[in-house]
Amino acid sequence: MGCNVAHADPSSVPDTLQQRIAACTSCHGVHGEGSSGSGFFPRLAGKPAGYLVLQMQNFQRGLRKYAPMEYTVRPLTLSYMQEIAAYFSAQQVPYARKPLPALAPSALQRGEQLVTAGDPARKIPPCQACHGTQLTGTEPFVPGLVGLPYDYISSQLGSWRTGTRASAAPDCMAEIANRLAPADITAVSAWLASREVPADTHAQAAGSITPPLHCGVLQAQGSGL
């Protein structure tokens, strides 16, 4: 703890990045590592900066709902959010192993099938088609799916179904989440959470995917179909 603190005049505290992120680290961790255990407070570390800014904007616009987040990001300007996102995106902290539900091998196989091949009968494209062959995401807007806890993945897919999470229309993830059966959500979340995190967790380069479904956020940059 710095001894300078005792001498600081609160009215002259400089406006630094450290101060800006202090509003975030109580929940997300100093390096954006997220909460241990349940993983209720999501990891921010290493996620594509464009994706992090987009989520802050979605909370500001009321598209994604969680009152403490909406309140925290409401006053932030775009350049502020870009700075905060760059900080968290650049953090490299190890991924913690999170608990997995006990599932039958057939459920895990179903999860793997959805990720690698999708389910054409239900018009579900493979998750890999957008989230990348290593599932580490695609710059700038598609987040990785490896290293995320089971509870977080399944609750996000649930949020798209209940409308507490949405993104720019057409909202491809809302469509996909609604095409998944409840048992599919359990299966795909568990299989993803059971994956080893690859040595290189960087998102794939922008433009390296051709999204098989219309996504508003991807079309904005001209890469949607």
**Least distance in angstroms from the C-beta of 156 to ligand HEC:** 4
41 binds ligand HEC (CB under 6 A): yes
Q: How far apart are CA 146 and CA 196, in angstroms?
A: 8
- Amino acid letter, 11: S
* Contact flag: residue 93 with ligand HEC (CB under 6 A): no
Residue found by looking up tokens 């099938």 in the block: 113
Would you count residue 44 as binding ligand HEC (CB under 6 A)? Answer: yes
Residue 45 engages ligand HEC in binding (rule: CB under 6 A): no
Minimal CA–CA distance to 62: which of 78, 49, 74?
74
CB of 95 to ligand HEC, least distance (A): 13
Nearest to residue 188, comparing CAs of 214, 160, 212, 167? 160
Q: Residue 24, interface with ligand HEC (CB under 6 A)?
A: yes
- Sequence length of the chain is 225
Report if residue 203 touches ligand HEC, rule: CB under 6 A: no
Nearest approach, Cβ of residue 36 and ligand HEC (Å): 14
Q: φ, ψ for residue 112 (rounded to 5)? A: -65, -40
Q: Between 96 and 135, how does the x/- string for binding to ligand HEC read (CB under 6 A)?
A: ------------------x---------xx-x-xxx----
Q: Report in angstroms how near the CB of residue 118 gets to ligand HEC at its nearest.
A: 7
Query: Torsions phi, psi of 150, nearest 5?
Result: -50, -50
